[in-house]
């Protein structure tokens, strides 16, 4: 088998079918890489960079394509190293290696199809019979009656765990994010008192500070410490991104000073960047994303790095159908993965691509059974979700305000 072409496909579609997320983010973009071969078999992979900066992906893929064309796809690591080194000045971390992620995933998809096995078998074999997952609920929709309805909706879908954000999204219009230590601590403790009483003790609850990817105001270590102390009584499964990623040492101090498990890592790329945080013991639970970290191989290296430090991992998965399945395959190959992130009420841009490869039962995700990643991207699907330039999600900054 020889690689004959490497192509990019950009899509735009509804974020999901979740009305509580749609209230603040109705659509999303996605970027896929197709690797064509002389046998007619096509490998498919996704980069989460397609959600933020889809217009950048085709040019970066075209840069790497000559390294692949004419080569056998069977040695994924060799091809990955060739691409990584060719971008030494600009893709050791960041966008370049995040786009490489889709190419590498497509290579694993090809290998799985060639050998007739699910990709997790090629990554080290099945380590779990099933894995718990949680509904990634986005904002905390307010007033509290709205938050209660949101929690009830996720539980009605069969989830036994829910993650909501710090602050609030009120009446579908106004974001509220307390920054001062006492105000933030009181707000989150009040929210969790309500949420825990509403769902009971048997439901896993998680909070996401979104401070790691916030370009404007972020919590100080003082505020994060105050919030952790306030939420310790509520048995959180983890608290995600309480600080910005420019401060791994602050994360480490936070881990040392609270009983709440501290999670993070969704914006970190390549084991090179992850090592700074792992060596500092900055996370109790790392959150690599197998559509963004740099590849499925990099995900496994990050997981091993965390395991060596006695830490766990939990997949971050907020992309479309390819990202969903890439993370699920890595999760099942990774012994220290403890839970999987799943967007609730998955929409067409997810399930049209993942199909019945995504198997959900009684709050758990089950191992995929199809060869490769088990994802498809037909011309019909591409035509159903035509790309809309400018549809990539971005954080609002002066002069560039997020409107949908």
Q: Say whether 121-366 and 3-117+379-384 share the same fold.
A: no
Cα–Cα separations (whole angstroms), residue 120 to 2, 280, 367, 368, 371:
23, 29, 9, 9, 10
Token duo for residue 359: 């198997």
Residue ranges per structural domain of the chain: 3-117+379-384, 121-366
- Model pLDDT for residues 96-114, shown as the tens digit of each residue: 999 999 999 999 999 999 9
Half-sphere exposure of 110 (CA within 13 A, CB side): 28
What is the per-residue pLDDT across 302-313, written as a single tens digit (0 to 9) for each? 999 999 999 999
Say whether domain 3-117+379-384 belongs to CATH 3.30.390.10: yes
Please give the structure tokens belonging to residue 266. 């969704």
Any residues with CB less than 8 A from the CB of 65 and at least 6 apart, and which?
5, 6
Domain 121-366 indexed as CATH 3.20.20.120? yes
Report pLDDT digits (tens) over 242-295.
Answer: 999 999 999 999 999 999 999 999 999 999 999 999 999 999 999 999 999 999
Beta bridge partners of 118: 372
Q: What spatial distance separates the first Cα and last Cα of the chain, rounded to whole Å?
A: 44
C-alpha 374/C-alpha 167 separation (Å) is: 37
Distance, CA of 329 to CA of 404 (rounded, Å): 31
The alpha-helical segments, DSSP class H, found in 143-283 are: 144-156, 181-199, 221-231, 248-256, 270-279
For the entire predicted model, the pTM comes to 0.96
SS3 category, 163: strand
Residue recorded with tokens 């109790």? 284
DSSP secondary structure letter of residue 115: H
């Amino acid at each position: 088998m020889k690689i004959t072409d490497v192509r990019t496909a950009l899509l735009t579609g509804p974020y999901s079918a979740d009305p509580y997320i749609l209230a603040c983010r109705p659509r999303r973009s996605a970027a896929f890489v197709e690797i064509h071969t002389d046998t007619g078999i096509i490998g498919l992979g996704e980069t989460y960079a397609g959600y933020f900066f889809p217009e950048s992906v085709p040019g970066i893929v075209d840069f790497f394509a000559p390294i692949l064309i004419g080569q056998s796809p069977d040695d994924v690591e060799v091809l990955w190293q060739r691409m990584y080194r060719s971008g030494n000045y600009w893709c050791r971390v960041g966008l370049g290696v995040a786009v490489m992620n889709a190419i590498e995933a497509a290579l694993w998809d090809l290998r799985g199809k060639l050998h007739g096995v699910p990709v997790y078998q090629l990554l080290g074999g099945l380590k779990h019979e099933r894995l718990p997952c949680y509904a990634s609920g986005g904002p905390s929709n307010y007033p509290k009656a709205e938050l209660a309805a949101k929690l009830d909706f996720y539980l009605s879908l069969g989830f036994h765990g829910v993650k909501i954000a710090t602050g609030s999204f009120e009446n579908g219009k106004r974001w509220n994010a307390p920054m001062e230590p006492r105000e933030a601590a009181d707000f989150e403790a009040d929210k969790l008192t309500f949420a825990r009483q509403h769902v009971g003790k048997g439901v896993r609850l998680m909070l996401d500070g979104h401070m790691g990817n916030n370009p404007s105001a972020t919590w100080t270590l003082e505020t994060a410490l105050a919030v952790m102390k306030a939420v310790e009584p509520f048995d959180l499964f983890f608290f995600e991104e309480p600080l910005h990623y420019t401060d791994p040492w602050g994360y480490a101090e936070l881990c040392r000073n609270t009983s709440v498990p501290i999670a993070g890592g969704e914006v970190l790329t390549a084991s090179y960047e992850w090592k700074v945080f792992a060596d500092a013991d900055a996370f109790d639970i790392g959150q690599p994303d197998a559509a963004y970290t740099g590849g499925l191989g990099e995900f496994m290296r990050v997981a091993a790095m965390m395991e060596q430090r006695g830490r766990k991992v939990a997949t971050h998965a907020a992309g479309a159908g390819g990202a969903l399945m890439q993370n699920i395959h890595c999760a099942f190959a990774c012994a220290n993965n403890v839970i999987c992130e799943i967007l609730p009420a998955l929409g067409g841009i997810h399930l049209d691509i993942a199909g019945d490869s995504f198997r959900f039962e009684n709050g758990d995700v089950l191992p995929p059974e199809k060869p490769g990643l088990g994802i498809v991207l037909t011309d019909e699907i591409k035509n159903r979700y035509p790309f809309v330039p400018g549809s990539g999600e971005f954080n609002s900054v002066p002069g560039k305000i997020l409107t949908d």
